[in-house]
């Protein structure tokens, strides 16, 4: 919470509120979600401030940003245990995916291309088992 100041950023009431809200949120929130909750306590905060703060927290790797295809980007506290999401194009269901599933790819990219891939919080689109079964596709 004080970490912002340690890295040379100013600790404003807006930022404190936004950070607290992100911490209190279970799972993903949109910028609009955050803005709604911020203005309950501090009515004059502009949504652009929320967006700018989220960008800052993302840059500092304190939050992850992901587009799960819902029309608005989602944010989440950067967890200890990295995870990702599978998103079904048919039914819209999302299920979490352990980072171990994609870690081999990260290793391969580093080994073969010298590329240090972030892959902090991926959304992988496709068709879930349930929908594939329904479609009799094999």
Partner DNA sequence: GTAGTTATTGCAAGTCGTTGCAATTGCATC
Partner DNA sequence: GATGCAATTGCAACGACTTGCAATAACTAC
Answer for the pair 63, 75: CB distance below 8 angstroms, yes or no: yes
What is the separation of C-alpha 82 from the centre of its chain, rounded to a whole number of angstroms?
11
> Residue 32 touches which of Zn ion, Mn ion, DNA, none (CB < 5 to 8 A by kind)?
DNA
**Span interacting with a second copy, options 17-25, 26-34, 73-81, 126-134, rule CB under 8 A:** 126-134
For residue 5, what are the β-bridge partners?
none
Tokens of 58: 């993302």
Q: Is 55 in the site for DNA (CB under 7 A)?
A: yes
**116 lies in the site for a second copy, by CB under 8 A:** yes
Give whichever of 18 and 76 is closer to Mn ion, judged by the CB atom.
76
Phi, psi angle pair for 73, to nearest 5°: -70, 145
Q: What is the DSSP letter of 101?
A: G
Which x/- pattern, by CB under 7 A, does the window 17-46 give for DNA? -------------xxx-----------xxx
Closest by CA position to 20, among listed 63, 55, 84, 59:
63
CB of 88 to DNA, least distance (A): 19
End-to-end CA distance of the chain: 51
Assign 91 to helix, strand or coil: coil
Binding site for a second copy (CB under 8 A): 86, 88-89, 95, 97, 101-102, 104-105, 108-109, 112-119, 124-129, 132
Binding site for Mn ion (CB under 5 A): 76
Binding site for DNA (CB under 7 A): 5, 9-15, 30-32, 44-49, 51-53, 55, 71-73
């Amino acid at each position: 919470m004080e970490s912002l100041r340690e890295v040379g950023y100013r600790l404003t009431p807006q930022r404190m509120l936004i950070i607290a809200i992100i911490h209190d949120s279970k799972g993903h929130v949109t910028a609009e979600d955050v803005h709604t909750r911020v203005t309950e306590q501090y009515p004059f905060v502009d949504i652009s401030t929320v967006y700018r703060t989220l960008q800052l927290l993302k840059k500092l790797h304190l939050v992850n940003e992901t587009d799960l295809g819902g029309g608005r980007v989602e944010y989440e506290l950067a967890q200890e245990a990295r995870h990702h999401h599978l998103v079904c194009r048919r039914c819209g269901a999302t299920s979490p995916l352990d980072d171990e599933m994609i870690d081999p790819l990260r290793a391969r990219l580093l080994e073969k291309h010298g590329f240090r891939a972030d892959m902090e919080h991926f959304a992988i689109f496709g068709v879930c088992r349930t929908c594939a079964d329904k479609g009799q596709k094999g």
